[in-house]
């Protein structure tokens, strides 16, 4: 297939024109996009109407005349090509390409604490967080008191002086700074000049993707031109692994770049793979090319300037390459996999077909993985299989990036529809689907037999907890793991190789910084704060009280202490919190202004039934309260507004003597416990459960995607009303939904590129590469653009006595003795003393403590002669399931000198 377009062809399409076979499947992806095909040869009349032209699999002569025409007529040009494990990309977006947003990041902002008068004036920001600006950035100011000339002035260029300071030019004629102010980054248009292809061919600007191979792009640039010359002279590309053709390509490269120092081995590989066609490389280059098209038409994100060359030669065999990849092994076989056989030979194709893989998740990444697996033939042999699981159903919003799904698949299971789609692409694919969430609850399904039969796992998950769980399973069963993820234009790939690399769990990102409670409660200063407050209000009004009531109605009192749980919550609901309302001039004990810096002084709102935002809040809250009580609501805004006109809302009056907590520590230190008297008072004021037979409430779980359930209506109205209290600019429904719903940005281009790189690692795993340096973890940000690679980190090594071990090692203990009896605790302890010179001081299984040296003597005597599984069942109060072949024990041990030492875990086999 051409590398830019995804050729959604099936077996029945063989022999058809590629554009015509692709067209109906491409049109299915989005009914709002008009697509058409033509068999006309390229001409100026054909190109003239278009904004962007993308050339794939084209000759250099065609590229040059198209490049000249497009450049002179203001048409953007992208050239994309792949040859086996090699990729090429070129962009020409004209003499003056205007980029409106270079990186796609939200503009930075910071709160001002001081501005000096001078030339230049210096701005100091609050030291709660670094401002993050860079020299050359442009900023604007709002809410500055005193030096008000700054407010509303045009964007000002800055020079960074430190993490909290920067200069802004001449402020000597401005008023004296008093307080306040917010400084916000402004994204300024950036102008980029592109050379036309003919000029760029002679004077190339090269984007480096792998700094470990920084010398290769110039050689590939010349080699690709030599390849075009070879094809023009012979009417065909070089044959796979043909030594004579490869030597001629090297000679032609010398003609293209006379006097240049050439890497002949690299050029020979380019020639050997000229007929190669690999789905993962197509996906990577195609994803990048598609993103460049989006940049060309939108002006958003920085384009590639101008050439990008890529190779993944680490995918070739580590040893005996000349023997494994002979001309005979790589010759065409009239197979759908000939493009792959040309690169890797027929033996690897057979290995790919025999693989058994588990794909966890059938969302955006899962769809791309399955597509690539079908294309490369993974699990397509009689012994192979691919299992995909996902418990989610397809939503309409999935259709922009989970391309295996169609509008008629909405509400159906993702795993089932994804499996059906790739089965149509490649009927030989042995794919089965399941609707199960991976986790401890499904270990009867994904048991020892299931994992032991696998060759590897590919994660396509959207949360860290599930990733950590699957990582632990892969380490335990010693299976390789392909881990990948995306966030908008950003993506990453991590490959986990048993006994070689660290695991996913070995290093984690720092946790997201939480918004302090006192900020949410008393001092919001950004829309994110009011949205989080609104989400908390939703839980506190429509979910938690109903859950507490239902819990109370089924509660069995065990004395005053037995009531503490629900009564504490009820006391909190009924209690009156502190009020932050106060005058602007209030001061702290030290004499400084209280409402300053990040603390914005609030003002009350006057209820107005004719204000649409006020009515939105009442409509949403009333209907949600009705739902939680199981009664009908009303969608008649006019009737509700008329009713509210007769409701008297008393004017707001702040409470006197209220202490406002300025930090979470202060808030926690003043939390008072409920005394027994208050508990009894609350208990007496509530009707007993017996007085409310059959009554229950209906807790509401927040659901952002249903526009008819009033959930987002409440969030938007509550957040924007609170924002108005604190003079914070409001957010529209779309922005509110993104923030409150914690929607992770996702685009198909990044997904395609990331999964392409992940599947390149698959080639290495299937071949059994044993050099850590052969593998690549990848990081990319298509907005910048940036693509980088690093070698996976080796697994850390530990030692006890002279025994070296890693996270992949463990003690293997056979629980059943030769006489058929299971090992007792006494025998288990003695075994480690004798075989490993280790004194076990503590022994646990999961959260259950099975043995410790400080246990009471009576309990130790009782357990010493019990079988290990019996102890586990008694302590955990759970029977060991019949599906469990082995138990995992964690040990604390002393060595011969009574020193604590770290040792691996124990795999205790019982079946």
User: What angle separates helix 748-767 from helix 346-353, to the nearest 10 degrees?
Assistant: 110
Closest CA to 223 of 242, 209, 234, 237: 237
Question: What does the block give as tokens for 837?
Answer: 């010179």
Positions marked catalytic: 518
Contact (Cβ atoms closer than 8 angstroms) between residue 769 and residue 285: no
Closest CA to 404 of 361, 454, 436, 446: 361
Instruction: Classify the C-alpha dihedral 339-345-350-356 as positive or negative.
Output: negative
Burial of 264 (0-12, 13-18, 19+ CB in 10 A): middle
Burial of 415 (0-12, 13-18, 19+ CB in 10 A): buried
Contact (Cβ atoms closer than 8 angstroms) between residue 884 and residue 910: yes
H runs (alpha helix) in 645-747? 664-669, 676-685, 711-725, 733-740
d(CA 120, CA 857): 78
d(CA 93, CA 483): 35
- What 3-state DSSP class applies to 427? coil
Contact (Cβ atoms closer than 8 angstroms) between residue 9 and residue 18: yes
Residue reference for tokens 């809302």: 649
Is residue 785 reached through a cis peptide bond, with omega within 30 degrees of 0 on the bond before it? yes
d(CA 124, CA 161): 10
d(CA 627, CA 441): 31
d(CA 286, CA 303): 15
Is residue 248 reached through a cis peptide bond, with omega within 30 degrees of 0 on the bond before it? no
- Three-state SS string over 67-109 comes to HHHHHHCCCEEEEEEEECCEEEEEEECCCCEEECECCCCCCCE
Strand locations in 240-384, DSSP E? 307-311, 356-360
Burial of 239 (0-12, 13-18, 19+ CB in 10 A): buried
Contact (Cβ atoms closer than 8 angstroms) between residue 31 and residue 407: yes
Q: In 10 A of CB 534, how many CB atoms?
A: 22
User: What angle separates helix 216-234 from helix 243-256, to the nearest 10 degrees?
Assistant: 110
């Amino acid at each position: 297939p051409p590398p830019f377009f995804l050729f959604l062809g099936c077996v029945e399409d063989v022999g058809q024109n590629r554009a015509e076979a692709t067209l109906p499947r491409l049109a299915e992806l989005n009914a709002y996009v008009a697509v058409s095909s033509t068999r006309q040869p390229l001409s100026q009349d054909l190109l003239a109407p278009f904004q962007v032209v993308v050339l794939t699999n084209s000759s250099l002569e065609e590229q040059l005349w198209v490049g000249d025409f497009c450049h002179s007529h203001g048409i953007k040009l992208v050239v994309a090509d792949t040859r086996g494990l090699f990729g090429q990309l070129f962009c020409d977006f004209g003499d003056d390409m205007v980029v409106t947003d270079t990186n796609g990041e939200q503009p930075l902002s910071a709160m001002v604490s001081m501005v000096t008068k001078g030339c230049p004036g210096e701005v100091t920001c609050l030291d709660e967080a670094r401002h993050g600006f860079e020299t050359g950035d442009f900023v604007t100011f709002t809410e500055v008191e005193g030096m008000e000339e700054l407010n509303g002035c045009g964007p000002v260029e800055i020079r960074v002086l430190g993490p909290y300071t920067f200069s802004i030019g001449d402020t000597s004629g401005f008023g004296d700074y008093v307080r306040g102010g917010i400084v916000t980054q402004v994204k300024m248009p950036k102008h980029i000049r592109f050379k036309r292809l003919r000029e760029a061919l002679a004077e190339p600007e090269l984007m480096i993707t792998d700094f470990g191979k920084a010398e290769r792009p110039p050689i590939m640039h010349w080699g690709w031109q030599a390849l075009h010359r070879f094809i023009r002279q012979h009417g065909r590309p070089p044959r796979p692994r043909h030594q004579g053709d490869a030597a001629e390509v090297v000679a032609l490269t010398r003609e293209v770049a006379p006097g240049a120092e050439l890497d002949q081995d690299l050029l020979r590989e380019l020639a050997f793979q000229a007929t190669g066609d690999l789905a993962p490389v197509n996906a990577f280059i195609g994803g990048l090319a598609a993103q460049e098209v989006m940049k060309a038409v939108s002006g958003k994100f920085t384009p590639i300037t101008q050439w990008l060359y890529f190779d993944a030669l680490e995918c070739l065999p580590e040893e005996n390459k000349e023997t494994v990849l002979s001309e005979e092994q790589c010759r065409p076989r009239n197979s759908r996999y000939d493009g792959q056989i040309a690169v890797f030979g027929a033996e690897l194709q057979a290995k790919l077909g025999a693989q058994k893989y588990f794909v966890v998740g059938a969302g955006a990444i899962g769809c791309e993985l399955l597509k690539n697996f079908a294309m490369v033939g993974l699990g397509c042999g009689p012994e192979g299989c691919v299992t995909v699981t996902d418990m989610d159903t397809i939503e309409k919003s999935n259709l922009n990036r989970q391309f295996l799904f169609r509008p008629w698949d909405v509400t159906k299971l993702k795993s089932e529809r994804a499996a059906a789609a790739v089965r149509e692409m490649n009927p030989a694919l042995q794919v089965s689907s399941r609707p199960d969430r991976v986790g401890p609850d499904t270990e009867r399904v994904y048991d020892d037999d299931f994992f032991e039969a696998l060759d590897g796992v590919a994660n396509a998950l959207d949360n860290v907890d599930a990733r950590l769980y699957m990582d632990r399973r892969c380490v335990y069963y010693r299976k390789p793991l392909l881990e990948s993820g995306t966030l908008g234009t950003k993506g990453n790939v991590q490959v986990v190789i048993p006994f070689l690399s660290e695991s996913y769990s070995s290093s984690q990102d720092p946790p997201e910084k939480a918004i302090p409670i006192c900020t949410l409660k008393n001092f919001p200063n950004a829309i994110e704060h009011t949205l989080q407050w609104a989400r908390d209000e939703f839980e506190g009004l429509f979910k938690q009280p109903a859950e507490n009531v239902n819990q109370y109605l089924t509660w069995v009192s065990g004395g005053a202490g037995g009531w503490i749980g629900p009564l504490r919550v009820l006391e909190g609901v009924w209690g009156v919190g502190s009020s932050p309302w106060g005058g602007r001039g209030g001061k702290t004990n030290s004499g400084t202004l209280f409402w300053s810096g990040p603390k914005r002084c609030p003002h009350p709102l006057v209820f107005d039934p004719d204000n649409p935002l006020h009515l939105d809040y009442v409509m949403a809250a009333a209907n949600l309260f009705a739902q939680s009580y199981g009664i009908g609501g009303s969608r008649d805004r006019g009737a509700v507004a008329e009713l509210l006109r007769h409701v008297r809302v008393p004017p707001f009056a702040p409470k006197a003597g209220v202490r406002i907590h300025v930090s979470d520590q202060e808030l926690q230190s003043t939390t008072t416990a409920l005394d027994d008297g208050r508990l009894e008072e609350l208990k007496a004021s509530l009707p007993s459960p017996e007085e409310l037979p059959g009554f229950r409430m209906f807790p509401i779980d927040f659901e952002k995607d249903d526009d008819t359930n009033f959930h987002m209506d409440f969030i938007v109205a509550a957040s924007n009303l609170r924002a108005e209290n604190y003079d914070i600019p409001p957010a529209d429904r779309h922005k509110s939904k993104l923030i409150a719903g914690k929607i992770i940005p996702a685009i198909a281009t990044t997904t395609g590129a990331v999964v392409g790189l992940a599947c390149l690692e698959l080639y290495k795993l299937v071949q059994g590469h044993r050099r850590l340096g052969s593998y690549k973890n990848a990081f990319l940000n298509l907005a910048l653009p940036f693509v980088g690679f690093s070698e996976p980190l080796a697994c850390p090594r530990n030692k006890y006595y002279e025994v070296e071990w890693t996270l992949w090692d463990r003690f293997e203990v056979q629980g059943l003795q030769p006489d058929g009896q299971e090992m007792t605790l006494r025998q288990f302890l003695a075994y480690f003393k004798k075989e490993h010179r280790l004194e076990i001081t503590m022994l646990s299984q999961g959260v259950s403590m099975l043995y410790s040296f400080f246990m009471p003597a009576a309990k130790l005597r009782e357990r010493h002669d019990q079988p290990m599984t019996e102890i586990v069942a008694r302590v955990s109060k759970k029977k060991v399931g019949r599906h469990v072949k082995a138990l995992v024990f964690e040990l604390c041990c002393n060595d011969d000198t009574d020193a604590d030492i770290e040792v691996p875990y124990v795999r205790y086999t019982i079946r």
